A and B are shown apart, each in its own frame.
Chain A
Amino acid sequence: MVTQLPETDAVLLGVGLVGTILGRELTRAGLKVVGLERGEPRFTVPDFQGPAMHDELRYSIRKALMQDNTRETLTFRNTSKETALPIRRWASFLPGTGLGGAAVHWNGQTYRFQDSDFRMRSRTQERYGKNFLPDDVTIQDWDVGGAELEPYFDRFEYLLGVSGKAGNLKGQKIAGGNVFEDPRSRDYPTPPMKEPYGSALFRKAADKLGYHPFPQPSSNLSQPYTNPEGMTMNACMFCGFCERYGCEHYAKASPQTVLLPVLLKDKNFTLRTNTQVLRINLDNTGKRATGVTYVDASGREFVQPARLVIVGAFALNNVRLLLLSKIGTPYDPQTGKGTVGRNYAYQTTSAVEVFYDEKTNINPFMRSGANGTVIADFVSDNFDHGPHGFVGGAYIGEIMTNGRPIEFHPTPVGTPAWGAEWKKAVVRHYNHTAVLNVHGSSVATRQNYLDLDPTYRDAWGLPLLRMTFEFPDNDIRMSAFVTGKAMDIGRAMGGQRVDGGPRKPPYTITQYQTTHNTGGTIMGADPSTSVVNRYLQSWDVPNVFVIGASNFPQNASYNPTDTVGALAYWAADAIVRQYLKQPGPLVHP
C-alpha cells in the first residue's frame, strides 16, 4: 500500500549541506518545503559529544558515520572490459549518511576554485593550442565564471565563518595569503588558525625555495563567530578528531552549526529523516516531475507530490537518483553519446613523509581537520604547462589532521610491516614525522563514467551505481611533476629522511584517498554534453534541479566543498529570482 501525501511546493532529496541551504532559501521565499533525509537525525548535543566521539575504532576504522554498505553501496571496475564488483566495505572514499550529510564528517578545508578551473577547456586551448589536449580527455567549461560566483563564495564563506587570509583583495595581491586566488570582495570572516609545528617547518622551507605559502582556509574556526543567520560558533580546540567525526565544540562548520537549527524552526519546513527516496516521479510527458516516491524506516512507501524537486544528495547518489528516475540520457562510452554519468572524476593525491630526529616533537595529535600551510604555485593553471604536456595541478601542504595511531604510525620505506623492527620504527617515528599532502586535479575522460550495475542491487531491490575509473595518463604525469616538487620541499624541511612518491595506476578502492567524487550530472552550455544548465536545472525536466559536486565537469586541484556551497547559493538565487516567477527552462540553448 502506498500512501499519497498532500502536495508541497518543493521537496529536498537529502538534507546535508545543499539541502539545508536550499531549504533555507526556499522557505525564506515563502515556499513550503519537505526535506527527505535517508539517515538518522543527529545534533551536536548529544550525538557528537566527547569523550565518546573520540573513538578512532568506531568512527575512523568502523566508519560509524558513513553510508551502510549492507543497504547501499556501488560497484567498481577499472575499465569497461572488466566485470564490476560491489564495494563491500568503504576504503578509497567514504560516502556519509544522516542529517547534515558529509558536511558533518568533513575536514573543513575551504578553497574557492579559480576562474581558470571554470574555463578549463577554453583556457587550455587559448594558452597551449588546440592540439594540447589528448582526444580522450573530455574536460569542458562550466558555463559559469569565477567573477560571477564570487558573491556566492563570499556568502557561503560568511555562513561558515571560514578562517583564512586573503591573498587577492579586489585585485590587490597580499603577501602571506593565496596570491594566486581570484579577486575576493572582502577578507575571510575570521583570521587564520594557529600554525602547528610541522606547518611552520613547511612554510620556512617553501619560502626558502621561492614559493608562496599561505594558511589553509579552514572551516574549523580560529575564534568565536556569529554568522548572518544568527548562529554562533566557537574556536577550534585542535582535538585531532575532525574528519570522519562530528565536532563536539561547535567549532567546525556543518549544517548543524551554521544553519540547520534556523531552518528547523521555520513553519514552512518539514524534516523527515530515515526516508529512502526510490525515484523521482515524472508525468506521462516525461518532461515534468510530479514528486518523489520514498520508503520510511518501517518499510512503508509514500508518494510525496511536489512542484519543485531539489536533488542535493552526495555526488554519486545524485547521479544514481537521475538514472533510477530515467531523467536524461545515460552516457554510453562506446558512442560518447548521452550525458548522465558522463565525466566522473576524482582527485589525484599523493603524500611525502619527512622523518625527523628524536628531539623534534611534531605532536601530530594537536591538529584539526583543516589547519596547515600550503602552496598554490602548482595549482590549476598557476604555472606554465607548455613544457610538461599535461593539464591541471595540485596544491602541496603540511596539513596533517591527526595523530590517531591505528591509521597514523608512519615508518620509513623498507620497514617490515610487522614484528620487532616494525614496532621499533613505530615508536621511533610516531612523534617525529611530518606528512605533506599533494592534492591534485582529475581530468574527465571518455572511459571514466558512472551507470547502473546490471547485477547487484541495494536493500530496496534497485540497481547499484556502477563506477568505471582509472587514473588518466594526464593525471599520472601531473602527479609525477608536482610530487617531485613536494619531495624537494620535504628535503628542505630539515628532516633526516624523506619518503614518498607520485600516484601510480591502477586506481584501487582498497586504500583511502579522498571522498571528492565529482561529475556525472555535470553543468554546461550544451545539452548534448551536460545534464544541467548553468543554473543546475535539468535540461530534460525543468522542475528538477541537481546540485552538488556531481555538477563539476572535471575536478580541480582544490577541495570541492566551497565550490559546492557557492553553487548551492547560485542555484537558489536563480530559483528564487527567476524560476519561481516563471517556472520553466531558465536557459534556451
Chain B
Amino acid sequence: MAGAAAAATAASTHAMRDASAAAAPPVYVFFNPEEAAFIEAAVERLIPADENGPGALEAGVPSFIDKQLSGAWGAGERLYRSGPWHEGAPTQGYQLPFTPAELFRHALRGIRDDFRQRGSQPFGKLAAQEQDAYLKSLETGKLELDGVPSKVFFESLLSMTIEGFFSDPVYGGNKDMVSWRMIGFPGAYANYYHTVDQHGMQFTRAPMSLSETGRGVIHIHPDIPAGQHAPPVKKGK
C-alpha cells in the first residue's frame, strides 16, 4: 500500500513538474527580450513544426543558442582571434573579429534598427511568409547588420539552430529527444554488434541521452591499465 501511494505521489509530482515546465517561459541569460523574440520566431521558420513533429521552437533551440552564446563558445572558445583583419576570399573562411556572442549582439541590433528604419512591425509579428522572405534576404542579400554581413549571421543562426535541434538534450535543445525520435537516431546508445548485420531491420528502441546511465553493453577490459601507474599488462605471444 505504502509503495503504491508513494508511486502515485511520484507520478503526480512528475505530471505537475511536466505541466509547469511546459507552461514556464524559457529563462534567457544572454538574449534580451527583444532579441529573444526574434530568435524564437526565426528558429521556428528555419525548422518549423509540422505533421512530422515539433519544430526548433518547441525543441528548445532558443535556449540552446542562449546557453551557447553565454558560455565559452560565445566568448570565442577555439577561435583564433589575433589580427590583422582582412575580409579575404570565401575559401579562407571566417575572418571577422567578432566572437559568436558579439556577432549575434551586433547582428540582432542591426536587425532591430533595420525594422525600425523601415517602420515595420517587429519580425515576430510578421506573417510566416513575410518572415521567410526576410530570412531569405538575410541569407542571400548584402545587408550589413551593425558591421556583420547578414549572410554570415544567417549562416551562424542556421548552423546553431541545426546544432540545437539535433544535439544531445543536455545542451538545452532537442527537448525529450524529439528530433532523434523523428528521424530514428538512437542517440548515445553504444552497441550495435548484434544488429549491424541484420540488414534493413527496423530499429525501434527509444533513443538515449547522455543524461541517462549507460544502457548499452560496455566492456571494460580488466587487464588493460588506465594510466601510467596501473599494474603491468599480461605478456602475450
| Residues on A facing B (Cβ under 8 Å) | 41, 43-46, 49-52, 54-57, 61-63, 66, 68-70, 73, 76-78, 82-89, 91, 194-197, 200, 226-232, 234-241, 248-250, 257, 261-262, 264-265, 271, 359-361, 363, 365-367, 371, 403-406, 409, 417-420, 422-424, 426-427, 430-431, 455-457, 506-510
A196, B82: Cα distance in complex, Å:
46
Asked if B214 CB lies within 8 Å of chain A CBs, one says yes
A457 touches B93 (CB 8 A): no
Q: Choose among A50, A248, A264 the residue with the greatest number of B CB atoms under 10 Å from its CB.
A: A50
Q: Could you say which residues of chain B place their CB within 8 Å of the CB of A367?
A: 196
Q: Could you say which residues of chain A place their CB within 8 Å of the CB of B218?
A: 49-50, 248-249
* Contact-residue size bin, chain B (C-beta under 8 Å from the other chain): 35 or more
A89, B237: Cα distance in complex, Å:
45
| Residues on B facing A (Cβ under 8 Å) | 45-48, 50, 52, 55, 73, 76-82, 84, 86, 88-95, 132, 135, 139, 158, 161-163, 166-168, 171, 179-180, 182-193, 195-197, 199-203, 208-210, 212-214, 216-221, 223-228, 230, 232-237
Given contacts A197-B200, A418-B46, A455-B84, contact A427 B182 (CB under 8 A): yes
A-B contact pairs, 23 of them (CB 8 A): A41-B227, A43-B227, A51-B212, A56-B167, A56-B168, A66-B78, A83-B86, A86-B82, A87-B92, A88-B79, A88-B80, A195-B197, A226-B237, A232-B233, A237-B219, A366-B192, A417-B158, A418-B47, A419-B48, A427-B183, A457-B82, A507-B91, A510-B94
A404, B167: Cα distance in complex, Å:
9
Nearest first, the 6 A-B pairs at minimum CB distance are A366-B192, A54-B188, A45-B226, A226-B236, A57-B167, A430-B183
A271 touches B73 (CB 8 A): no
B192 touches A423 (CB 8 A): no
Q: Could you say which residues of chain B place their CB within 8 Å of the CB of A85?
A: 86, 88, 92-93, 95
Q: Which of A237, A262, A430 contacts B192 (CB 8 A)?
A: A237
A44 touches B52 (CB 8 A): no
**Closest beta carbon of chain B to A342's beta carbon, Å:** 22
B93 touches A509 (CB 8 A): yes
Q: Could you say which residues of chain A place their CB within 8 Å of the CB of B216?
A: 50, 237, 239
Nearest residue (CB) in A for B82 is A456
A264 touches B47 (CB 8 A): no
A264 touches B168 (CB 8 A): no
Q: Which of A44, A70, A363, A510 contacts B203 (CB 8 A)?
A: A363
Nearest residue (CB) in B for A406 is B166
A436, B184: Cα distance in complex, Å:
21
Q: Which of A232, A508, A509, A510 contacts B223 (CB 8 A)?
A: A232
Could you list 19 further interchain pairs (A-B, Cβ under 8 angstroms) beyond the known A45-B226, A249-B219, A365-B203? A44-B224, A51-B188, A51-B209, A51-B213, A66-B78, A70-B79, A70-B81, A76-B91, A77-B92, A239-B192, A250-B224, A265-B232, A405-B179, A409-B166, A427-B182, A431-B183, A455-B84, A457-B82, A510-B91
Q: Could you say which residues of chain B place their CB within 8 Å of the CB of A403?
A: 185
Nearest residue (CB) in A for B91 is A508
Given contacts A45-B220, A264-B228, A405-B166, contact A55 B210 (CB under 8 A): yes
**Closest beta carbon of chain A to B16's beta carbon, Å:** 29
A250, B196: Cα distance in complex, Å:
19
**Closest beta carbon of chain A to B10's beta carbon, Å:** 25
**Closest beta carbon of chain B to A315's beta carbon, Å:** 20
**Closest beta carbon of chain A to B173's beta carbon, Å:** 9
A236, B194: Cα distance in complex, Å:
11
**Closest beta carbon of chain B to A560's beta carbon, Å:** 24
Q: Could you say which residues of chain A place their CB within 8 Å of the CB of B235?
A: 230
B188 touches A87 (CB 8 A): no
Nearest residue (CB) in B for A91 is B93
Nearest residue (CB) in B for A77 is B92
A437, B66: Cα distance in complex, Å:
37
Q: Which of B180, B224, B230, B234 contacts A405 (CB 8 A)?
A: B180
**Closest beta carbon of chain B to A506's beta carbon, Å:** 5
Q: Could you say which residues of chain A place their CB within 8 Å of the CB of B90?
A: 508, 510
Nearest residue (CB) in A for B220 is A45
Nearest residue (CB) in B for A198 is B199
A430, B52: Cα distance in complex, Å:
13
B210 touches A51 (CB 8 A): yes
Nearest residue (CB) in A for B55 is A423
**Closest beta carbon of chain B to A419's beta carbon, Å:** 7
Nearest residue (CB) in A for B193 is A237
**Closest beta carbon of chain A to B205's beta carbon, Å:** 11
Q: Choose among A84, A234, A419, A506 the residue with the greatest number of B CB atoms under 10 Å from its CB.
A: A419
Given contacts A361-B201, A456-B82, A510-B90, contact A248 B190 (CB under 8 A): yes
Given contacts A88-B94, A196-B196, contact A232 B221 (CB under 8 A): yes
Q: Which of B80, B209, B236 contacts A232 (CB 8 A)?
A: B236
Q: Could you say which residues of chain A place their CB within 8 Å of the CB of B186?
A: 365
**Closest beta carbon of chain B to A86's beta carbon, Å:** 5
A68 touches B78 (CB 8 A): yes
A232, B108: Cα distance in complex, Å:
55
B80 touches A427 (CB 8 A): no
A239 touches B201 (CB 8 A): no
Q: Choose among A68, A70, A84, A229 the residue with the greatest number of B CB atoms under 10 Å from its CB.
A: A70
A257, B163: Cα distance in complex, Å:
32
**Closest beta carbon of chain B to A1's beta carbon, Å:** 27
**Closest beta carbon of chain B to A104's beta carbon, Å:** 15
A422, B182: Cα distance in complex, Å:
14
Nearest residue (CB) in A for B190 is A239
Given contacts A85-B88, A419-B45, contact A250 B219 (CB under 8 A): yes
Q: Could you say which residues of chain B place their CB within 8 Å of the CB of A366?
A: 192, 195-196, 203
Q: Which of A51, A56, A239, A250 contacts B166 (CB 8 A)?
A: A56
A62 touches B73 (CB 8 A): yes
